[in-house]
Structure 1
Amino acid sequence: MLCIGLRPNIDKDCRALILGSMPGVKSLEAQQYYAHPQNRFWPMMAHLLGEALPSAYEERLAMLLRHHIALWDSIGSCEREGSLDSAIRNEQGNDFAALLQEYPGIRAIYFNGGKSAQAFKRYNKALLARPDIAFHAMPSTSPANARWRLPMLEAAWRKALTESGILCYTENKI
């Protein structure tokens, strides 16, 4: 089955970019990032950002933008049966050179899972040498990554987002 990714959620104020690999079946059907009800991305991000989890998808996207966080995927299109990253075939990467030229404020890129990092590295070797952008391989929020419970995911993501200056974390804040 041919899968075509979603458009980036980004604006000129974004300083961070979170990249998935390719949205799963439920996300593509809904045309929404992380639409699978068991994916931990949205609850984790709301908690890390100190906000209540919005119920409406557009409000979730707006929450990220308020915190200068963009969202997209490393893969623009592929063939895949089901939702597992391991089933991805004939992938085509997204055009990050153009994206970063249009949005030069991006200073950190976070890969939500190994396949996202792998695909980005395959198609963007020159970008990896940019000293003005920090790259972070993060544990996946997918329900397929069951060994990482939500508190473990939050701790890993909080550490990386804080080190890059995206979060201003204190023990009393969250």
Structure 2
Amino acid sequence: MRVHSFPPIMNDGATVLILGSMPGEASIAMNEYYGNPRNHMWRVLYGLFGREPDEGYEDRLAFAASHGIAMWDVIASCEREGSLDANIRAEVPNDLPGLAKMHPSLRCLAFNGTKSHDTFKKYFRDDPIFDGMARLKLPSTSPIPTKHMRNTADRIEAWRVILPFLK
């Protein structure tokens, strides 16, 4: 089954672009970035500021924007059964260079997990539009625990590296 990413969530003046790979089934069904309630993303972003996430999706987007955070996915469409990145096949990348050209305030690309990072490198490694931008490969906010990322607190600590790039 072919799935498609969402349009970018991007405001003028954004300084950090969080890049996922492709929204999971729960997010697609809700039509929301990180819509799976078990995903750690919103708890991580708010946790960086010592807060609990707002309930409403629009409030969460406004919170992210107020700190200079934008969101998109490296992959525009792909074939995937289920939600796992390991199942992604025949991916087509989003136009990340085009987005970066339209938003020169971007200073940091924050990759939410290995798949987004590796897919970016595959398609855009040598694109000069990204010269001078920090490229941070961060642990996935997926609800699946790993050896080093067991809970939200572990992820908040790892994601603190984006703080110097925020508004």
TM over 0.5: yes
User: Which residues of structure 1 form unaligned runs of 5+?
Assistant: 168-174
Q: SS of the residue aligned with 2:165?
A: coil
Q: Which amino acid aligns with 1:119?
A: T
Output the TM-score relative to the length of structure 2: 0.93
Segments ≥4 residues shifted beyond 6 Å? none
* Mapped partners of 1:165, 1:15: distance in 2: 6
Could you say what secondary structure the match of 1:126 adopts?
coil
Deviation for aligned residue 1:144: 1.9
Most deviating of 40-49 and 78-87: 40-49
1-structure distance, mates of 2:129, 2:135:
10
Q: Which position in structure 1 is the counterpart of 2:88?
A: 88
Describe the superposition over 1:113-154 as per-residue Cα deviations: whole angstroms up to 9, x where unpaired.
000101111111223784320000000010123441221111
With the length of structure 1 as denominator, give the TM-score of the two structures: 0.89
3-state SS of 2:83 partner: coil
Cα distance in 1 for residues equivalent to 2:114 and 2:58: 27
Cross-structure match for 1:161: 162
Sequence identity of aligned pairs in percent?
A: 38
Q: Deviations over 1:13-71 (max 9, x none)?
A: 10110011000001011110111111111111111134441111111111100000101
Distance 1:129 1:98, change over 3 A: closer
When the two structures are aligned, how many residues end up with a matched partner?
165
88-97 or 120-129, which moves further after superposition? 120-129
Structure-2 change in CA distance of 1:14 and 1:2 (3 Å): same
Task: State the distance in 1 between where 2:146 and 2:116 align.
Answer: 18
Aligned match of 2:154 in 146, 152, 155? Answer: 152
The 5 A counterparts of 1:5-154 are: 5-127=5-127, 130-147=130-147, 148=149, 149-154=151-156
Distance 1:10 1:49 in 2: 20
Deviates more, 1:9-18 or 1:118-127: 118-127
